Amino acid sequence: MHQHMTKNNVSATRLVDQFSRTITYLRLSLTDRCNLRCLYCMPQEEIDRHDQVKTGRFLEHSELLSYEELLRVVRLAVSLGMNKLRLTGGEPLVRKGVLDFIQALFQIDGLSEVRLTTNGVLLEEYASRLFQAGVRQLNVSLDTLEEEKFARITGRSYFDKVWRGLFAAKELGFKIKINVVAMRGINDDEFLDFGRLALREPFQVRFIEFMPVGEKSSWDRQHFIGSDEIMERIASLGTLTPFKKRHGEGPARMFELSAPDGQRGAVGFISPISHHFCDQCNRLRLTSEGRLRACLLNDRETDLKRLLRGGASDEELVAEIRQTILDKPQGHSLNTAVVRQPCSGQMSRIGG
């Protein structure tokens, strides 16, 4: 039987790595399953017989950490000072029982924030219950504003569902960030439309550089477009004024966009390739396979699932969490000039 820690017998000192970064933020990938088949996320090696879209072998339910196991890890992480949590996938809302799990998370003393990243397909159905559970901040992944292109990028004709979900969440009062993976020749003709959306609606629109994640991913240098070029295009809509940077607010370089007609909006640029933000990285990731990962683009992992199922005590788990943080690399080696071997982990399992 594993031993549980009380608050008194675990050190409450902040988690600081070798490079003086304070780790306060844990990302949990609840599942690798998804109701979309985005071209940059799923591997290409298998074909879905019915839909002729990319897919791959999904994890069996027993391979995922149970909600009880996840709650144990979160409680330990929070006892160490990690007070922010993001739920990702795959698509987190496709996992059965996710709302009960979220409610249980909000019972953990010291956890100040639970955020959710979603593709928006189930948002219309879940938004009200998510709000009631306590979630207030959503990141919605949306790479196009065109219905036909949405089907081409995601393998599913769900644009209208996502759009309705987005506005249902807005009406309820969620703070919403829209994440756009920027791909030359695929959606770069829509960057100004996304900028106009940020001017028109209370959504932060954030452009993310296309990253080489996964051995069989569809990453191709010809589709890469750097954030400086994206910013230059967005600047044609108005004046970009940098936000005052707050510690721990995340990797996006945020700007207020002010249009000549007086409209204002918020746009951001996430630049893991062209402008490394590794020196500010404050997060760990727990993959859907139960592996703790200190860097999205570095394959070193700690197998927490093996420890959890092998009867490890809370002290042993805490020691592994601390060691993962001490092993956190200073940065990754990818850049626009020389993209070395992409990380081999599958994005849908690591958590976007």
For residue 31, give the DSSP letter.
-
CB atoms under 10 Å from CB of 181, counted, come to 23
227-245 per-position pLDDT tens digit: 999 999 999 999 999 998 7
The predicted pLDDT at position 58 comes to 80
Q: And the tokens for 232?
A: 């230059």
Task: Name which of 36-45, 58-67, 185-194, 333-342 the model is least confident about.
Answer: 333-342
Q: What is the CATH number of domain 7-350?
A: 3.20.20.70
Q: Rounded to whole angstroms, how far apart are CA atoms 118 and 343?
A: 23
Confidence check: pLDDT of 48 > 80? no
Task: Please report, for the chain, the start and end positions of each structural domain, with discontinuous segments joined by +.
Answer: 7-350
For residue 107, give the DSSP letter.
T
The predicted pLDDT at position 244 comes to 85
- Long-range pairs, 147-151, Cβ under 8 A, ≥24: 149/186, 149/187, 149/190
Mean pLDDT of 333-342: 44
Q: And the tokens for 276?
A: 């490394």
